[in-house]
A and B are shown apart, each in its own frame.
Chain A
């Protein structure tokens, strides 16, 4: 099942990119995530590995993921190595007026479990969909807040 949501964010694409690719900041905007830890020596970029967990229903699901696409500043994608089979993608595109169109995708599949897997995928969908939407709302707020702070800092610097 693939869950997708998008949003126009009032910030330059590079600013959004630096936020979504920073492993330390994921917990501040991604909804439902309870763990996002760097696993291994590579912190960010292609091949970086993270240990991640999402709360869905009665359990925290996730596992080890690896970054498989890192096209600065457009595409950032990871795929699961262990745990729940899934892929995640941030798709950033320039929008008119110096803004950015942000698309967040989570695709997951419950394999080998027959009927219960099919049902579980669908039962989990509303929760995951809610997390995806909430993530975008929180990202937008975070970006707007950072932009405001940057503008204020520039004003203070100019006044001095």
Chain B
């Protein structure tokens, strides 16, 4: 399989640049311009390079009891259908993302996956650059979390690992609570091209409950644009929510999630070429996948009697 793009853009730390960073009028070496370059440089340097070897099975094994406790007692987690994931070989797990920056559903799923298949099975998760550059979260890398970029994803799948992606990313995770039961990838389809290129099956992972861990009000897209966060930090959102202990939480640099019940359903694996022919149309597959996941989410929502309580 030719690794297109891997050679075309070797960034400072081995993966593709987040987005074309657009310096403010380079001709004018103004103070503002220098400050701008400095700022994007600091953020860029903090993004760790993807070294798949940083994943540490023994570390995961030692942390599992703590995460199992949180997952079982606080979120009353329930993960179904893990048997739908092929027992070995590379697989792309595609989830809907909920719960703001505290990502409770990711934790519940990661615990369940790691105990089900054992910590010996290589399992990586793609995360926003910013998550990985926050000091104090470096342990996430030992858990197999790597910065979200096409080349990192390619590397993980080529190594034969299971890879969890949330195409909706920061856009979906900060959707208002009243849209909690909607799958919304914001039209992002890169993951499908990746699955086709690497010829790996896709397993949809549908989660409910995350958006009830706080009252999410708005993504704050306009605010983010106004503050130029999209260009500095690759952040398209500056979410505003009502959550503990801040009450009004702007930006969501952590909060205490409410103990909402998290239910996750793993759907049967999809072999894209077997179902859509040798050269599938990405838009068709995208629509099909969204429909499939939305149906599953609707079924999970129908099971729920109360918000938070479940």
Contact = CB atoms under 8 A, between A and B. Distances in A.
Interface of A: 53, 56-64, 82-84, 110, 112-113, 116-117, 119-120, 123
Q: Is the interface of B mostly helix, strand, loop or mixed?
A: helix
B79 A59 contact: yes
20 contacts: A57-B68, A57-B71, A58-B71, A58-B75, A58-B76, A58-B108, A58-B112, A59-B68, A59-B77, A59-B111, A59-B112, A61-B115, A62-B115, A63-B118, A83-B115, A110-B65, A113-B62, A113-B65, A116-B66, A123-B69
B116 interface: yes
Contacts of B40: none
Q: How large is the interface on B (under 10, 10 to 19, 20 to 34, 35 or more residues)?
A: 20 to 34
Contacts of B82: 60
Interface of B: 58, 61-66, 68-69, 71-73, 75-79, 82, 108, 111-112, 115-116, 118, 120
A53 to B, nearest CB: 7
B65 A117 contact: yes
Given A82-B118, A112-B62, A123-B72, 19 more contacts: A57-B72, A57-B73, A58-B111, A58-B112, A59-B68, A59-B79, A59-B112, A59-B115, A60-B112, A60-B115, A64-B118, A82-B120, A84-B115, A116-B66, A117-B62, A119-B69, A120-B65, A123-B69, A123-B73
Nearest to A83: B118
Contacts of B61: 112
A110 B71 CA distance: 16
Contacts of A61: 68, 115
A82 B115 CA distance: 10
Contacts of A123: 69, 72-73
Nearest to B120: A82
Contacts of B78: 58
Contacts of B118: 63-64, 82-83
Contacts of B115: 59-62, 83-84
A112 B58 CA distance: 9
A127 to B, nearest CB: 9
Which of B58, B68, B82, B120 has most chain A Cβ within 10 Å? B68
Contacts of B72: 56-59, 123
Given A123-B72, A123-B73, A60 B65 contact: no
Given A53-B116, A83-B118, A113 B77 contact: no
Contacts of A64: 118
Contacts of A84: 115
A149 B48 CA distance: 66
A112 B68 CA distance: 14
B111 A113 contact: no
A113 B76 contact: no
Which of B65, B77, B79, B108 has most chain A Cβ within 10 Å? B65
A150 to B, nearest CB: 35
9 nearest A-B residue pairs (beta carbon): A57-B72, A58-B77, A116-B66, A120-B65, A113-B65, A58-B71, A58-B72, A59-B115, A112-B62
B210 to A, nearest CB: 14
Contacts of A57: 68, 71-73, 77
A116 B71 CA distance: 13
Which of B76, B77, B111, B115 has most chain A Cβ within 10 Å? B115
B9 to A, nearest CB: 39
Contacts of A62: 115
Contacts of A82: 118, 120
B116 A58 contact: no
B71 A59 contact: yes
A109 B73 CA distance: 19
A60 B77 contact: no
B266 to A, nearest CB: 12
A120 B111 contact: no
Nearest to A84: B115
Contacts of B77: 57-59
Nearest to B72: A57
B45 to A, nearest CB: 33
A120 B111 CA distance: 14
